[in-house]
Amino acid sequence: MQRRHLLTAAALGAASMAAPSAWAQSASYPNRPIKIIVPFPAGISPDVIARLVGDKLSQAMGQPVVIDNRPGAGGMIGSEAASNAAADGYNLFYSVKAVHAIAPNVYQKAQFNPVRDFKAVSQLLLVPHVLTASPNTPYNNMKDLVDFAKRNPGKIDYASLGIGSQPHVAMEAWAQRLGIKLNHVPYKTNPSPDVMSGVVSLSIEASTTAIPLIKGGKVKGLAISGAERIASLPDVPTMTEFGATLDVNGQIGSSWHGIFTPKGTPDDIIAKLNTEIVKIVKMPEIQSRMRDLGLTPTGTSAEALTTVAASDYAFWAKIVKDFDIKVD
């Protein structure tokens, strides 16, 4: 009995010593550079926004914020690196819907589960995608495209960023709902040059890259994902204007960007990061920059992003299974 009391007292003593230590670590956060893992190459939309937000976060936190680009395998390389990083608040993960909800369902050997292995910090923005066409195609809108495709089944090629990418899966879902047959041409690099030249007829582009291409006459804009037209492309209708069930609330064609941390990151650090990141997203200069790129700034609670990420993961799991899209 005496030995049991001694063991209990020792355990309580250890716990009382550990708690202040953990609290002190969080209270002093951050006291060294913060890293944001971005699962894309430099220069494309997620990287651009990550650097924009990272610069402001560095100013707010008083520490350098380093962008660590880990592209490849549909975002899986960066995702796995982030999921295995130390859960101390110094390793953040910049994720998007395709990386968080689609790729883990497509890649059969995924070493992580996004719902289980990450904690949400804040959603930054919503990004619509635009269905674009080569300038020399005989269709200028969705009606023209569908009519042509039905008269010429299997004769329209579309480009994507690879098997299981959002442009691939979204186009397959839209084609099924429209009752048309399209040919998928997966690319390992940006397919835009081949769409502009007419090598392939269609592609789905994020608004950030689609806007300058359409305004410059290099591609046609046939339709935009989501519920509303965007100010930068007022003459391009939404997908739901053509078919009410094609893209309800942008669940198929639109995306989101958000910040996550590895599971186990202390809640008070998550709260501190959320507070500062939401402030950044609400800055007029950040709002203006995002809207110029066709993006909708959000800046949500951690709980809101947790809910969205889990819902999208389940939604895309069903679509990926229905189309039997997988990478071994």
Claim to verify: residue 133 and residue 246 sit in the same structural domain: yes
Let me know if residue 6 belongs to a domain: no
Q: Which amino acid is at 297?
A: P
pLDDT digits (tens, 9 = 90+) for 119-142: 999 999 999 999 999 999 999 999
pLDDT at residue 8 in the model: 47
Pair of tokens at residue 158:
């579309």
d(CA 201, CA 156): 6
Q: Which of 92, 94, 158 is nearest to 129 (CA)?
A: 158
Examine the domain organization and report whether 184 and 242 are in the same domain.
yes
pLDDT value, residue 164: 82
Q: Can the peptide bond before residue 30 be classed as cis, meaning omega within 30 degrees of 0?
A: yes
Residue 10: inside a domain? no
Token pair listed for 93? 């993960």
In this structure, the answer to whether residues 135 and 232 fall within a common structural domain is yes
- Helix (H) or strand (E) holding 41, with range, is none
d(CA 10, CA 12): 5
Residues 123 and 260 in one domain: yes
Q: Which two tokens stand for residue 320?
A: 């990926």
Measured distance CA(9)–CA(248) in Å, rounded: 59
139 occurs within a structural domain: yes
- Distance, in Å, from the CA atom of 259 to the CA atom of 82, rounded to the nearest integer, reads 11
Residue at token pair 């679509």: 319
Q: What is the pTM of this model?
A: 0.83
Structurally, the chain folds into a number of domains equal to 2
- Provide the pLDDT for residue 18: 46
Segments in the chain below pLDDT 70: 1-25
Q: Are residues 244 and 296 in the same domain?
A: no
Domain that holds residue 226: 129-250
Residue at 220 is within a domain: yes
For 265, counting Cβ atoms within 10 Å of its Cβ (0-12 exposed, 13-18 middle, 19+ buried), the class is: buried
Please measure the distance between the N-terminal and C-terminal CA atoms of the chain and give it in whole angstroms.
57
What tokens were used for 139?
């269709």
Q: Say how far apart CA 67 and CA 78 lie, in whole Å.
A: 12
Domain assignment present for 26: no
Instruction: CATH number of the domain at 138, please.
Output: 3.40.190.10
105: in domain: yes
Which residue, of 250, 269, 301, is where some domain finishes?
250
* pLDDT for position 162: 82
Task: Assess whether 133 and 224 both reside in one domain.
Answer: yes
Tell whether the torsion through CA atoms of 284, 288, 289 and 290 is positive or negative: positive
Q: Which residues pair with 205 in a beta bridge?
A: 130
CATH number of the domain at 272, please.
Answer: 3.40.190.150
Distances in whole angstroms, Cα of residue 35 to Cα of each of 85, 89, 138, 225, 301? 10, 9, 47, 32, 21
CA-CA distance, 31 to 213, in Å (whole number)?
43
In angstroms, the CA 311 to CA 218 distance is 36
Residue 287: is it exposed, middle or buried by C-beta count within 10 angstroms (0-12/13-18/19+)?
A: middle
Count of residues in the chain: 328
Are 282 and 242 contained in the same domain?
A: no
Q: Are residues 238 and 297 both part of a single domain?
A: no
In a domain, 192, yes or no: yes
- Domain identity same for 49 and 71: yes
143/246 same-domain check = yes
Query: Are 47 and 120 within one domain?
Result: yes
Residue-wise pLDDT for 44-90, tens only, equals: 888 989 999 999 999 999 999 999 999 888 889 999 999 999 999 99
Give pLDDT, residue 25: 59
DSSP code per residue over 205-263: EEHHHHHHHHHTTSSEEEEE-SSS--TTSTTSPBHHHH-TTSSGGGTTT-EEEEEEEET
